[in-house]
Structure 1
Amino acid sequence: MLFAHDTEVALVAAAALVNTTGSDGEKLPDLAALDDFFRAYGWSGGREHTLAELRAVQALRPRLRRVWEADEDEVVDIVNTLLRESSALPQLVRHDEWDYHLHATPANAPLATRMAVEAAMALVDVVRGGQLGRLRICEHPDCGDVVVDLSKNRSKRFCDTGCGNRAAVTAYCARKAATRP
């Protein structure tokens, strides 16, 4: 394991949140979709279940997306800004099936704030570990999704939406076409 479990979970959730918007449309269009996202990524704490909450989560996405495109100094600025705006106060907590891990907001903080701080805290570990190269953009030409490479050999090139399979099929078809008379 490269990072602590909660860091990896937060990085994957941040990437998934960023990837809910893009060339193939809005994937968080309504409260039901936000509910599904909340459950899928194991968020804890309270929810408002309002359009304002949905809009706040949607507004966080471009700020997090910038992390995948920025240099180290800008990433540090983004992380520090998110933590400062949220008045983050790291604490060890234990809940549900999780052993002690870090939370930096109270459980009743707004969802978008908790998401921002979880991502920022995970990015602290990425920056401190000199691992920003593990945050990438999918290499498939028709995709712009972000990728978190948690592999040991830093080999992940494609997102998790099938781009690796599409690239392999394209390469196979090109090889087959090259061998035809």
Structure 2
Amino acid sequence: MPFTYDTGVALASAAALINTAKEDIDPLGTPEGLDRFLEEQRFSGSRTHSQAELEAVRALRAELEVIWSAAEDDAVALVNGILRRANALPQLVRHDEWDWHLHATAPEAPLEERMATEAAMALADVIRGHELDRLRSCAGEDCDGVVLDLSRNRSRRFCDTGNCANRTHVKAYRARKAQGA
């Protein structure tokens, strides 16, 4: 099932947020790190630039990671909890270079609420489409990152946090070479 553009963007952003916790140095360790992350992910709307905002986004990161690997009924309960807390009221908007897409909070809502709601709305699409198997853990032996597989043939196995795919393929190549020698 192909997802709408904004759903794909929100899912990719949620995966990127979760994977920030997997890096050696947490990019969300400082408010400036959060600024960089939000710029990379192209989040719009109001900001407080406070420590409380940073801590709320880090808490959201942990909550999304639980949803990523949850069974369907558990994922539904968690997504519905996020939407209830945000008093989500979906509406079509168009801004910047984005065409029509859904926002479920006001632009003035707290950052963590807007981020949580975007992720929850996208995850709701995943659940409704019975596509939770597209949310995976990285197949790299020494990686606990998450993977969003939006490929047509459902073949994506590795995260974007490092060189997991390259390391795995090189290891397999070397093992085949050693076996043939």
Match of 2:31 in 1: 31
- Asked if the contact 1:12–1:148 (Cα under 8 Å) also holds between the matched residues in 2, the reply is yes
Give, in whole Å, the separation in 1 of the partners of 2:69 and 2:134: 12
Percent identity for Structure 1 against Structure 2: 57
Whole-angstrom CA distance in 2 between matches of 1:22 and 1:96: 31
Gaps of 5+ in 1: none
Give the structure 1 partner of residue 94 of structure 2.
94
Letter in 1 for 2:177: K
Q: Which structure 2 segments of 5+ residues have no match?
A: none
Question: Structure 2-normalised TM-score?
Answer: 0.96
Separation of aligned partners in 2, 1:120 and 1:89: 12
Partner of 2:180: 179
Aligned ranges 1:74-85 → 2 under 5 Å: 74-85=74-85
- 1:62 offset after TM fit, Å? 1.1
Please show how residues 101-112 of structure 1 align to structure 2 within 5 Å.
101-112=101-112
* Aligned residue runs from structure 1 range 32-181, under 5 A: 32-160=32-160, 161-180=162-181
Aligned-partner SS, 1:19:
helix
Taking only aligned residues, the RMSD between alpha carbons, in angstroms, comes to: 1.1
Aligned residues of 1:46 and 1:108 also touching (Cα < 8 A):
yes
Q: In structure 2, give the amino acid aligned to 1:63.
A: E
Deviation of 1:25 (Å) = 4.1
CA distance in 2, matches of 1:172, 1:67: 35
Secondary structure of the structure 2 residue equivalent to 1:140: coil
Structure 1 length as normaliser, TM-score? 0.96
Question: What letter is aligned with 1:94?
Answer: R
Runs of 4+ aligned residues of structure 1 deviating over 3 Å after TM superposition are: none
* 16-25 or 118-127, which deviates more: 16-25
Task: Give the number of equivalent residue pairs.
Answer: 180
Q: Which shows bigger deviation, 133-142 or 159-168?
A: 159-168
